[in-house]
Amino acid sequence: YSHRDISVASEIAEFVRELGCEVFLDAWALRLGDSITGKVQDALCRCDYLVVLLSHNSIQSEWVEREWQTKYFDEVNRRHVLVLPICLD
């Protein structure tokens, strides 16, 4: 997601967490001094699925593109759906 979409990202993450799933949301997980790229890469490696929030904001973000593509390559190699897109706009 783009940080411009943080409010909807937080709502979706909270809903998924209430369903009993473990959720990584950078706004919840990152602390002062953390390596942003390190934490995100670690979460991408450990996660079973990646929810991508597609919006006008996110499709312009290089960060969003890098993150979903990382998991998408895993999806192609494993031949199993791992990237779950949600269209906001």
What's the confidence (pLDDT) of residue 34?
82
Longest dimension (CA), the chain: 37
What's the confidence (pLDDT) of residue 30?
85
Q: Which amino acid is at 51?
A: V
pTM above 0.85, yes or no: no
What's the confidence (pLDDT) of residue 58?
94
What's the confidence (pLDDT) of residue 60?
93
pLDDT tens-digit profile of 16-70? 999 999 999 988 998 888 888 888 888 888 888 989 999 999 999 998 888 888 8
pLDDT at residue 78 greater than cutoff 90: no
Round to whole Å and give the CA distance between 2 and 62. Answer: 10
